[in-house]
Amino acid sequence: MPSAAKKLTPRTITARRILFLLLVGLTTFLAMVMITSAFLQNGITPTELLLLVLYTLLILWVSTSFWTATLGFWVLLRGGDRLSIGRLAPSPSTNEGPQKTALVMPIYNEDPTRVTAGLRAMWQSLEETGESDRFELFILSDTRDPEGWMQEEANWYQMCLDFHAHGRIFYRNRERNIARKSGNLEEFCHRWGGRYRYMVVLDADSIMAGETLVKMADLMDAHPGVALIQSPPLPANQHSLFSRILQFASSFYGDIFIWGINYWQLSGSGYWGHNAIIRIAPFVTHCGLPKLPGREPFGGEIFSHDTVEAALLRQAGWEVWIAPELKGSYEELPPTLIDYAKRDRRWCQGNLQHLRLVFAKGFSSLSRLYFLMGIMSYVSSPLWFLFLVLTGFEAYVKSQTMPVYFFGDNLFPVWPESYAVEMTTVLLVTLVMLFLPKIWSLILGVLHWRRLKLYGGLFRATLSVFLESIFSMLTAPVLMIYQSKFVVAILMRRSVGWPPQNRDDHRLSLWEAIQAHGEHTVIGLLAGWVSYEHVPGFFLWLVPVLAGLVLSIPLSMVSSSAWVGVITRKMGLFLTPEESKEPRVLTLLSENLQMLEAQKAGRRRTGEVRNIEDPGVCALHLALLPNRPVKKRQRHQLRALVYELIEEGPETLSGPQKRSLISDPETLVKLHTLSWSDDRGVR
């Protein structure tokens, strides 16, 4: 530990948070004063009052993000923060209790090949550190698909064989999916929690370098008051244009936001649900999640459990940190705009459910602020939408009376003469706050020349920033409409369920794009026509929004293409350091993926299958089934299903029916024999 290592004091925490809130509050107040002074010229109308409220909320949201990034920029300009978890002085700790760390990966109907490739890469990377003895790996499957279930088991056993890791890599498939991912983890803690000191929670697409895992465990050892350390996961390993642009944005701009978050949140930070290490004892004591009264989407099981778990840990006096200096933590992004929106739908429901938790007794103001920020990340979309509609309406009303804001060939709104400067300033301030973080990142890039080279050098990085800005400007209105719809649907109490995520590259067809974006195109054309006809001056201001909507079909199709993604990579655009100089763990992931895909192709060629027909896979499945007595009634039901299978074929059985068949040892063996005694080769 360096001699400059500091201790964190409550005074520093308070001072930093006050500074942050002052900056955000002052910015919002100034913007509000400017817009109010413009509105007040001829007495404020109800529409203007509503616009003022909306603008205040939105500018508050924008300035929160802006000041987080700006504080992060300032911290990085000064060479980092001495009050980050990696630089704080260690505290004395006892070495009692279990020593090991469990790497836990909850999965649910994921691609078994990708999951296995990722796990293998992480395990290999851990072995390369020479400290893999400190860890055990748990695959916590909630997979319902029978074939996927058996493939997961086969892949798990193959891993144990290949790495001589019997008794160190584990697999369990939960009989009943209760409470989704949080229930899955809870069941793990309930059954095996006493065996481990920490657990590193992973997602199905998580990749973490061995040295990062070791470092995280070391940090927890050094700080016994810390219950959770979140590593900032970087998106990587995707090839479509859409995900490459997002990967670049996260990588290039991410640092300033992460350091900014650390600056003002410090030991009261949040949990993002994966790629984080958790001290099991306090987690088990304080993070058992209750069912919220009422039905979904606001009642029932807590969807976005991570934010709530972090709040409960903080409430119990434990520290929760984000570790900006931790590298080697990766995740994958949805490959298309549509997949991204689908993921948003789930997250949106989870975050809106937190509305009730804002009113929970006992939580700190900071926790309530995080809940509100999560809610605002989705509610801001319908607010922006409403703001645009009302602005258009107001512009129309003003154009029918005096003064006129938009007329003739004027590019800028003609506000009442004495307030034109204020209104333009408000607009410019908003734009500056949205785009300045990108400039901060470019400046940091110039200052750290070697790192900038990994983004393709100054010219390509600047061009990538420019193109990414245009892309995000065009996709923002589409996401705004999507998220607005999600918020309305959830407020109307329509739940989303628990669909698995699509993580594979796949190019959208024209029909898929039309189905997904047809309404956006129509909205764009209609809004364009109405504004052009009735408020031509406002139309010009609306063009960036309209362009995104009107072009949504081709934009979504082109950006879903892995081929275009690869071309831009060859051109050196949207490059990330992970692409320029691949980290070892990602190389291992690629190698494992190639190997597993080749094995799959080989099996396809020889007609070999890894399901109930394979005696080895079938025996393994049988060996892993829990020993449960079957009641007479169930036995009869299973027999009836077997007859249905023989007579009607497997297509007539539902997923749960197939699962019940292969969950019973006796029926399983019968099915194995039946799979060999069908018509092939006999008649």
Partner 1 sequence: MNQVVMEDEGVADAVLERVQEYWRTLGLSDEVLIDSLSADCLSRGRRLVSRTHSEALLRRALEEAQRRFDHALAAAFGLPPSNDPYPLAAARAAFLMAPDISADTLFRHDDTTRQLRESLAGQLPQSTPPESPLEMLPVPLDFWLFQSTDR
Select the span of 9-17, 498-506, 516-524, 624-632 touching partner 1 (CB under 8 A): 624-632
User: How many Å apart are CA 115 and CA 461, to the nearest integer?
Assistant: 32
CB of 657 to partner 1, least distance (A): 22
The amino acid at 523:
I
CB of 677 to partner 1, least distance (A): 4
**CA dihedral sign, ordered 566, 567, 571, 575:** negative
- Per-residue CA distances from 354 to 57, 295, 660 (Å): 18, 14, 36
Select the span of 111-119, 121-129, 186-194, 399-407 touching partner 1 (CB under 8 A): 186-194
Does 629 sit near partner 1 (CB under 8 A)? no
User: How many Å apart are CA 223 and CA 537, to the nearest integer?
Assistant: 60
- Is the Cβ of residue 287 or residue 433 nearer to partner 1 in the bound state? 287
Residues 6+ apart with CB under 8 A from 562: 239, 240, 241, 335, 505, 507
Does 372 sit near partner 1 (CB under 8 A)? no
- Answer yes or no: are the C-beta atoms of 322 and 230 closer than 8 Å: yes
Of the candidates 294, 499, 650, 656, which one interacts with partner 1 according to CB under 8 A?
A: 294
Select the span of 65-73, 118-126, 280-288, 325-333 touching partner 1 (CB under 8 A): 280-288
CB of 299 to partner 1, least distance (A): 9
Token pair for 154: 């086969």
CB of 646 to partner 1, least distance (A): 9
List b or e across 15-48, with b for residues whose CB sees 16 or more CB atoms inside 10 angstroms: ebbeebeebbeebbeebbebbbebbeeeeeeeeb
**Own/partner pairs, 452-457, CB within 8 angstroms, 24+ separation:** 453/580, 454/575, 454/576, 454/577, 454/580, 454/581, 455/248, 455/251, 455/252, 455/575, 455/576, 455/577, 455/580, 456/572, 456/573, 456/575, 456/580, 457/572
Does 365 sit near partner 1 (CB under 8 A)? no
Three-state secondary-structure class, residue 329: strand
Select the span of 238-246, 445-453, 513-521, 611-619 touching partner 1 (CB under 8 A): 611-619
Does 609 sit near partner 1 (CB under 8 A)? no
Select the span of 292-300, 378-386, 466-474, 551-559 touching partner 1 (CB under 8 A): 292-300
Identify the helix (H) or strand (E) that includes residue 102: strand 101-107
- Per-residue CA distances from 333 to 202, 234, 245 (Å): 15, 9, 10
User: How many Å apart are CA 32 and CA 25, to the nearest integer?
Assistant: 10
- Is the Cβ of residue 473 or residue 620 nearer to partner 1 in the bound state? 620
Select the span of 236-244, 325-333, 535-543, 622-630 touching partner 1 (CB under 8 A): 622-630
CB of 107 to partner 1, least distance (A): 15
Three-state secondary-structure class, residue 144: coil
What secondary structure letter does DSSP report for 419?
Answer: G
User: Within 187-226, which residues bind partner 1 (CB under 8 A)?
Assistant: 189-195
Owner of token pair 């008649």: 683
Residues 6+ apart with CB under 8 A from 229: 85, 216, 219, 220, 276, 277, 320, 321, 322, 323, 326
User: How many Å apart are CA 545 and CA 476, to the nearest integer?
Assistant: 8
Burial of 278 (0-12, 13-18, 19+ CB in 10 A): buried
CB of 130 to partner 1, least distance (A): 22
- Is the Cβ of residue 572 or residue 665 nearer to partner 1 in the bound state? 665
CB of 104 to partner 1, least distance (A): 12
CB of 681 to partner 1, least distance (A): 5
Does 678 sit near partner 1 (CB under 8 A)? yes
What secondary structure letter does DSSP report for 90?
Answer: P
Residues touching partner 1, count (CB under 8 A):
63
CB of 308 to partner 1, least distance (A): 9
Does 393 sit near partner 1 (CB under 8 A)? no
- Answer yes or no: are the C-beta atoms of 206 and 234 closer than 8 Å: no
CB of 294 to partner 1, least distance (A): 7
Select the span of 34-42, 64-72, 185-193, 401-409 touching partner 1 (CB under 8 A): 185-193
627 pairs with which residues across the strands?
A: none
CA angle in degrees (0–180, nearest 5) for 266-73-213: 50
Does 318 sit near partner 1 (CB under 8 A)? no
- Is the Cβ of residue 68 or residue 353 nearer to partner 1 in the bound state? 353
Of the candidates 41, 42, 410, 673, which one interacts with partner 1 according to CB under 8 A?
A: 673
- Is the Cβ of residue 299 or residue 416 nearer to partner 1 in the bound state? 299
CB of 123 to partner 1, least distance (A): 16
- Is the Cβ of residue 92 or residue 362 nearer to partner 1 in the bound state? 362
Does 284 sit near partner 1 (CB under 8 A)? yes
Does 305 sit near partner 1 (CB under 8 A)? no
| Nearest alpha-carbon partner for 186 in 305, 31, 64, 304 | 305
- Is the Cβ of residue 2 or residue 290 nearer to partner 1 in the bound state? 290
Of the candidates 286, 327, 368, 534, which one interacts with partner 1 according to CB under 8 A?
A: 286
Of the candidates 134, 144, 180, 356, which one interacts with partner 1 according to CB under 8 A?
A: 356
User: How many Å apart are CA 433 and CA 633, to the nearest integer?
Assistant: 66
User: Within 153-182, which residues bind partner 1 (CB under 8 A)?
Assistant: 153-154, 156-158, 160-161, 166-167, 170-172
Owner of token pair 């892309």: 471
Of the candidates 48, 110, 136, 578, which one interacts with partner 1 according to CB under 8 A?
A: 136
- Is the Cβ of residue 32 or residue 674 nearer to partner 1 in the bound state? 674
Site for partner 1, rule CB under 8 A: 98, 136, 153-154, 156-158, 160-161, 166-167, 170-172, 186, 189-195, 280, 284, 286-294, 312, 356-357, 359-362, 614-617, 619-620, 622-625, 627, 665, 669, 673-674, 676-683
